[in-house]
């Protein structure tokens, strides 16, 4: 079976990227990461990509004329490597509807909350402030809204009254490292079917 071609877009350390690379190594994903793109030139994720001999590109928003130019450069970098699935693994920008529409049901994102609760930035802080008893992460398809696309997988962790931002974030991150590779593996095995708001996982 031909390996599916994956592009990963990141803004930071790339620990979720690393989790995907390890799952590929263990044959849990029938795919290969063919390009890593970051909007930050000093993102450690690009170092991880270099060490793994993966093509990597920095597309700085400041160096682009506008958002359209920025997204066009990302799109070009993905298409140059014939990417089939785009994975947002800690990418801290919202993609426009025109970008998303070009990649229908082929962009997935990991979010550190149980959507639809606590969308947007600092979901862990929002959850703590609200006093939730459980928290977690969500892998979802990206649509035109912010963290509103059809949900693929969710993982749950307990939230304790004495939690700090970091203790809760670390507990959620452990589950992100399981959930994102699992979702990527399902997509690459053609086991995800989107019907309206719902994602069905084929047996």
Q: Residues 84-138: pLDDT tens digits? A: 999 999 999 999 999 999 999 999 999 999 999 999 999 999 999 999 999 999 9
Residues in CB range of 202: below 8 A, 6 or more apart: 190, 191, 192, 193
Catalytic residue among 111, 140, 165, 177: 111
pLDDT band, very low/low/confident/very high, at 1 (cuts 50, 70, 90)? confident
Dump pLDDT digits (tens) for 79-92: 999 999 999 999 99
Specify the CATH architecture of the domain 4-201: 3-Layer(aba) Sandwich (3.40)
pLDDT of residue 130: 97
pLDDT of residue 65: 96
111 is catalytic: yes
**What is the spatial distance between Cα 118 and Cα 43, in angstroms, rounded to a whole number?**
25
Task: Return the SS3 of 70.
Answer: helix
> What is the residue-averaged pLDDT of the chain?
97
pTM of the model: 0.96
Residue 42 has pLDDT above 90, yes or no: yes
């Amino acid at each position: 079976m031909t390996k599916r071609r994956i592009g990963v877009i990141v803004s930071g350390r790339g620990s979720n990227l690393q989790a995907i690379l390890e799952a590929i190594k263990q044959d849990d994903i029938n795919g290969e990461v063919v390009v890593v793109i970051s909007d930050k030139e000093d993102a450690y994720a690009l170092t991880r990509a270099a060490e793994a001999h993966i093509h990597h590109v920095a597309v700085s928003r400041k160096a682009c004329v506008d958002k359209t130019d920025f997204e066009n450069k990302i799109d070009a970098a993905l298409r140059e490597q014939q990417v089939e699935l785009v994975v947002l693994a800690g990418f801290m920008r919202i993609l426009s509807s025109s970008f998303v529409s070009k990649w229908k049901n082929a962009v997935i994102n990991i979010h550190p909350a149980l959507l639809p609760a606590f969308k947007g930035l600092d979901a862990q802080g929002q959850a703590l402030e609200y006093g939730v008893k459980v928290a977690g992460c969500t892998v979802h398809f990206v649509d035109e809204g912010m963290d509103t696309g059809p949900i693929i997988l969710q993982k749950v962790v307990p939230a304790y009254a004495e939690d700090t931002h970091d203790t809760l974030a670390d507990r959620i991150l452990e589950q992100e490292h399981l959930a994102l590779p699992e979702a990527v593996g399902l997509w690459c095995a053609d086991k995800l079917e989107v019907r309206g708001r719902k994602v069905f996982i084929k047996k």
